[in-house]
Homo-oligomer: A and B are copies of this chain.
Amino acid sequence: MKKSNTAVNLWIVGSIGIDDIKTRTSDRKNLMGGSLPFSTAAASFFTTTGAVGVVGGDFPAAFDRRWKAFGTDLAGVQRKEGATFRWACVYDNNMIERETLKTELGVFADFMPELPESYRRAPFVLLGNIQPELQLHVLKQSAGAKFVALDTMNLWIDIAKPALRRVIRRVDLLTVNDGEARLLTGKWNLCDCAAAIHKMGPAYVIIKKGEHGALLFSKRGVFIVPAYPVRKLVDPTGAGDSYAGAFMGYLARAGRVTDGVLREALLHASAVASFSVEGFSLECLERLTLAQIGKRVAELKRMMAV
């Protein structure tokens, strides 16, 4: 664990990986991947963000440098002996369906997240998609958490539902895709899914629908936010993580959760995610500026203005 002096405003726990990704036009190897680089990089456009994860001895120093260049605090990233989590996939022609070719957990198999001292008073928390027990473990170390968001996936709904329900009970916002929402609640209609999730605890539910945008359900109503229509889809990997990271980064910068802030956060998340998929790994986010994000948010607003 590295020393950190800056108190972060938001911390995120998640996976860090090295990815091989094949699309119909490209075949790229050894890319910085996992949910955490995407989510923290996206959040770092808006607020001081700390990363909680684990890498092996093979994690390239260049990846550390590129990650830090976003301003992300890496004090929460443990460096262990062994291999970094490795993942390989191939995308269908539609760039939506994908087949996983390889999953080698490496040091991620024994990951036990520990919160650096400088993260413990952070008001905003995003529990990225890892085992629910570990999400709970690290959340308990967080004395200052005021607004906690949780991401999860079908695997944990299938094999760890009781633990997952314990975490869900403690968070303010759950973010799931439409299939996961249905799997978690046993309901078909997304409004019914959201109502069932509200009853489990979270005041806010974001249902992500990929290229179709997202719905945010609060007890006061629904916000609908479309995805930005991407003209140059290069690699969808990490889109959901960039989305969640940018959303929480925006909230954390605002420092409060009002309807107006939530709407703007959703639009900024759409914009950042749309850039993320225009390149492999973090390549597009690395060239991105706040001005470009603002421009795309304005475009989105024009597209949906009523």
**Which A residues are closer than 8 A to B by beta carbons?**
93-95, 188-192, 209, 212-213, 215, 221-226, 229-231, 233, 263, 267, 300-306
Chain B positions within 8 Å of A303 at CB level: 221-224
Chain A facing B: main interface SS:
mixed
CB distance from A179 to the nearest CB of B (A): 10
A212 touches B215 (CB 8 A): no
A304 touches B223 (CB 8 A): yes
A223 to B215, CA, bound (A): 18
Contact of A229 (CB < 8 Å), options: B191, B225, B263: B191
CB distance from A140 to the nearest CB of B (A): 35
A226 to B93, CA, bound (A): 26
Closest to A95 in B: B188
Chain B positions within 8 Å of A221 at CB level: 302-303
B305 touches A263 (CB 8 A): yes
B215 touches A229 (CB 8 A): yes
Most buried by B among A94, A267, A306: A306
- 28 A-B pairs with CB atoms under 8 Å apart are A93-B188, A95-B188, A189-B230, A189-B231, A190-B229, A191-B229, A191-B230, A191-B231, A209-B212, A212-B212, A212-B213, A213-B224, A213-B226, A221-B302, A222-B229, A222-B303, A223-B303, A223-B304, A224-B226, A224-B300, A224-B303, A224-B304, A263-B305, A267-B306, A300-B306, A301-B306, A304-B304, A305-B306
A226 to B231, CA, bound (A): 19
Chain B positions within 8 Å of A215 at CB level: 229
Additional A-B contact list (4), CB under 8 Å, known A93-B188, A94-B188, A224-B229: A209-B212, A213-B226, A215-B229, A222-B303
A225 to B305, CA, bound (A): 9
A209 to B211, CA, bound (A): 11
A306 touches B224 (CB 8 A): no
Contact of A189 (CB < 8 Å), options: B189, B222, B233, B263: B233
